[in-house]
Chains A and B, each alone.
Chain A
Amino acid sequence: MTGAILEFDRPIVELEEKIKELRQFAREKEINLDAEIANLEKRVQALKENIYQNLAPWQKVLVARHPERPNMLDYINRLCTDFVQLHGDRLYGDDPALAGGIARFDGRPVTVLGQIKGRDTRENLARNFGMAHPEGYRMAMRLMRQAEKFHRPVLAFIDTPGAYPGMGAEERGISNAIAECIQTMLMLEVPVLSVIIGEGGSGGALALASGDCILIQEHAVFSVISPEAYASILWKDSSRAREAAGVMKITAADLEALHLVDEVIPEPLGGAHHDPDGAAERIREVLSRRLPELAARPVGQLLAARGEKFRRIGDPRIYLTGNDIT
């Protein structure tokens, strides 16, 4: 690992460095340190378990925002073959914050979509920190309609702090773009699977989460607004973000308990940024199970189930009785 290291990741990273050094030392001096190394590896494992199984909500936010967390393109490269990236909304421009294209998953052509954050400041500036303008959502709509025409499922990967709150976005109708994106996805006559892989922020994230199932990685978050903004608006104190993250119910486990997501996808120990291959493999397992099942459904059934799913979400009766609706 290079770049930013999270505070609670530091002991893990330090031990891993030590193991690396010991290995090199053993090799150079031709002495056997296997027992010591095995011992240290056991300690790393225990540390990871201890830290990552007990992450507080705010720590999850930090993991979800980690600059080295795999992004949509990292996953496409690992999950798919034959990826062809497509560009532009055919109306105004191309949005570097939201990527899309066609690829093959499990041998089947699929349309892929997703917001992309940068790894460093330069890339983040180019990608507008993963905050899309109306063009991004309109391109998503264009590619979804294209997917429908060619009967291929849509895989949407969500990772954004939110849609961009700027003048151009408002002038070109960001509200309209998000609303129509939601509508297009709801009515699309092919299966749509959404995976929240990092930060699922507000309406800008929701725009890509109106399909047949919403999946979320173990350490990803999904929230109505960032914890910083929540604390700033409700408590007039953005420094209370840590506390806000705790009350907002934004972790994968919280969302599952609220019936807002269909499945939590486990991450390798230590989080996706410690093992992108392992993280991709776990996503593959879930998509490979769910996609054929959805693709086999008649269109009418697919759309009816999708409608019912969102009708049930946030039905106050759940929260009044504390039980699921019968």
Chain B
Amino acid sequence: MLELFKKQKYVTVASDAGRREMPDGLWIKCPRCSEIRFARELEKTLKVCQKCGHHFRLTAGERIQFTLDEGTFTAYDADLEPVNPFHSTEYAQKLAAARQASGLAEAVVGGEGAIDGQRVVVVIMDAQFMMASMGTVAGEKITRAIERAAEKELPLIIFTASGGARMQEGVLSLMQMTKTVSALCRHSRRGLLYVTVLTDPTTGGVSASFAALGDIILAEPDALIGFAGPRVIEQTIRQKLPEGFQRAEFLRQHGFVDLVTPRPQLKAVLSRLLDLHRREQS
């Protein structure tokens, strides 16, 4: 699924002879409007392009930094490593590369923190790690975080991102859909709040399981959200998809997302939702 999300249509061939000496990572070019910005400056705007509003994908670390109160986050199961159930060399190599690229052990980071002082369990899927495909251990980490939220009677926020199932783990990856939904049923039965924030891209098995089941579903602007990838659909129906198809705004129009929330407002919206569901007041 990986190559589905390479934004080929955005790639511009730059004649950047003059820029070649720029140190890597210091400057970032907006893939939508090509505006070039100082990386540190972009961080101040929560990685949203000030010119065109493009929301850059965030790493798990950035998401924590932008959403939770400083210094409140404690990770769950940070050391849980992916498994390679069918002992594939190819997969082992991919995992090693993903680990190196992201600095993470898996695509999922779960833990506990606070938003404006309100305690919450968060799960963040990091697309840097194999496009946050859903493997056995990714599913296990999500499940454990949901279970802890249920045990501790805490609200739960999942920031979803995924290219789909981790095919290298076969049906085991598919079954993570049922496993996570089953854990959510137990969290829900306790009357606890579950909010999903759909980020770019949320597709495949993740979109058709826990991502779709939030009591409240938010999405980041322009995020690609769908079950089948756009290319698969185009191949099936043999025609090009219209502009904006399967984007966050499209899903809101069709009734599958409560709010499309720009990143600068996200923390405040989450904070208000948590406050409205504080248990002592009801």
Residues of A within 8 A of B (CB): 163-167, 169-176, 178-180, 182-183, 186-187, 202-203, 206-207, 209-210, 222-225, 230, 233-234, 247-250, 255, 258, 260, 306-307, 310-311, 313-316, 319-320
Instruction: Kindly list chain B residues whose C-beta atoms are within 8 Å of the C-beta of A163.
Output: 208, 227-228
Q: Is B254 an interface residue when CB atoms closer than 8 A count as contact? A: yes
Q: What separation, in Å, do the CA atoms of A186 and B90 have in the docked complex?
A: 35
CB contacts between A and B, total, < 8 Å: 164
- Judging by beta carbons under 8 Å apart, are B86 and A167 in contact? no
Instruction: Kindly list chain A residues whose C-beta atoms are within 8 Å of the C-beta of B140.
Output: 314-316
Q: Is B36 an interface residue when CB atoms closer than 8 A count as contact? A: no
Partner of A313, one of B137, B178, B204, B209: B178
Q: What separation, in Å, do the CA atoms of A174 and B2 have in the docked complex?
A: 21
- Judging by beta carbons under 8 Å apart, are B181 and A183 in contact? yes
- Judging by beta carbons under 8 Å apart, are B182 and A175 in contact? no
- Judging by beta carbons under 8 Å apart, are B170 and A250 in contact? yes
Partner of A233, one of B167, B176, B227: B167
Instruction: Kindly list chain B residues whose C-beta atoms are within 8 Å of the C-beta of A225.
Output: 165, 167
Q: What separation, in Å, do the CA atoms of A315 and B227 have in the docked complex?
A: 25
Interface-lining segment among B61-69, B119-127, B210-218 = B210-218
Q: What separation, in Å, do the CA atoms of A172 and B227 have in the docked complex?
A: 11
- Judging by beta carbons under 8 Å apart, are A258 and B172 in contact? yes
Instruction: Kindly list chain B residues whose C-beta atoms are within 8 Å of the C-beta of A255.
Output: 171
Instruction: Kindly list chain A residues whose C-beta atoms are within 8 Å of the C-beta of B93.
Output: none
Q: Is B128 an interface residue when CB atoms closer than 8 A count as contact? A: no
Instruction: Kindly list chain A residues whose C-beta atoms are within 8 Å of the C-beta of B172.
Output: 258, 260, 313-314, 319
Most A CB contacts (10 A, CB to CB) among B139, B209, B210, B254 go to B209
- Judging by beta carbons under 8 Å apart, are B205 and A203 in contact? yes
Instruction: Kindly list chain B residues whose C-beta atoms are within 8 Å of the C-beta of A313.
Output: 172, 175, 178-179
Q: Is B88 an interface residue when CB atoms closer than 8 A count as contact? A: yes
8 Å CB interface, B82-102 against A:
83, 85-86, 88, 90
- Judging by beta carbons under 8 Å apart, are A176 and B256 in contact? yes
Instruction: Kindly list chain B residues whose C-beta atoms are within 8 Å of the C-beta of A316.
Output: 80, 83, 136-137, 140
8 Å CB interface, B180-204 against A:
181-186, 204
Instruction: Kindly list chain A residues whose C-beta atoms are within 8 Å of the C-beta of B183.
Output: 311
- Judging by beta carbons under 8 Å apart, are B182 and A186 in contact? yes
Instruction: Kindly list chain A residues whose C-beta atoms are within 8 Å of the C-beta of B226.
Output: 170, 175
Q: What separation, in Å, do the CA atoms of A187 and B178 have in the docked complex?
A: 12
Q: Is B276 an interface residue when CB atoms closer than 8 A count as contact? A: no
- A183-B213 contact given A165-B227, A203-B208, A310-B182, CB 8 Å threshold: yes
State the Cβ distance, A292 to closest chain B Cβ, in Å: 25
- Judging by beta carbons under 8 Å apart, are B227 and A186 in contact? no
State the Cβ distance, A223 to closest chain B Cβ, in Å: 6
Instruction: Kindly list chain B residues whose C-beta atoms are within 8 Å of the C-beta of A307.
Output: 182, 185-186
Instruction: Kindly list chain B residues whose C-beta atoms are within 8 Å of the C-beta of A173.
Output: 212, 254-256
Instruction: Kindly list chain A residues whose C-beta atoms are within 8 Å of the C-beta of B2.
Output: 233
Most A CB contacts (10 A, CB to CB) among B137, B140, B182 go to B182
State the Cβ distance, A240 to closest chain B Cβ, in Å: 13
Chain B residue at minimal CB-CB distance from A203: B208
- A180-B254 contact given A169-B227, A234-B167, CB 8 Å threshold: no
- A186-B181 contact given A224-B171, A260-B171, CB 8 Å threshold: yes
Q: Is B236 an interface residue when CB atoms closer than 8 A count as contact? A: yes
Chain B residue at minimal CB-CB distance from A209: B178
- A203-B86 contact given A170-B245, A225-B167, CB 8 Å threshold: no
Q: Is B156 an interface residue when CB atoms closer than 8 A count as contact? A: no
Instruction: Kindly list chain B residues whose C-beta atoms are within 8 Å of the C-beta of A186.
Output: 178, 181-182, 185
Chain B residue at minimal CB-CB distance from A320: B83
Chain A residue at minimal CB-CB distance from B4: A233
State the Cβ distance, B223 to closest chain A Cβ, in Å: 13
Q: What separation, in Å, do the CA atoms of A180 and B255 have in the docked complex?
A: 15
Instruction: Kindly list chain B residues whose C-beta atoms are within 8 Å of the C-beta of A166.
Output: 228, 233, 236-237
Partner of A314, one of B1, B176, B209, B228: B176
State the Cβ distance, A4 to closest chain B Cβ, in Å: 23
- A179-B208 contact given A172-B254, A203-B174, CB 8 Å threshold: yes
Instruction: Kindly list chain A residues whose C-beta atoms are within 8 Å of the C-beta of B237.
Output: 166-167
Chain B 1-27, CB-CB to A under 8 Å as 1, else 0, gives 111000000000000000000000000
Contacts A223-B170, A233-B2 known; 15 new A-B pairs at CB < 8 A: A166-B233, A167-B237, A172-B254, A173-B212, A174-B228, A175-B208, A179-B213, A187-B185, A202-B205, A203-B205, A203-B208, A210-B181, A307-B186, A314-B172, A314-B175
- Judging by beta carbons under 8 Å apart, are B210 and A179 in contact? yes
- A202-B174 contact given A170-B233, A179-B209, A183-B213, CB 8 Å threshold: yes
Q: What separation, in Å, do the CA atoms of A43 and B121 have in the docked complex?
A: 65
- Judging by beta carbons under 8 Å apart, are A182 and B181 in contact? yes
Q: Is B268 an interface residue when CB atoms closer than 8 A count as contact? A: no
Partner of B179, one of A169, A180, A311: A311
State the Cβ distance, A2 to closest chain B Cβ, in Å: 30
Q: What separation, in Å, do the CA atoms of A177 and B232 have in the docked complex?
A: 19
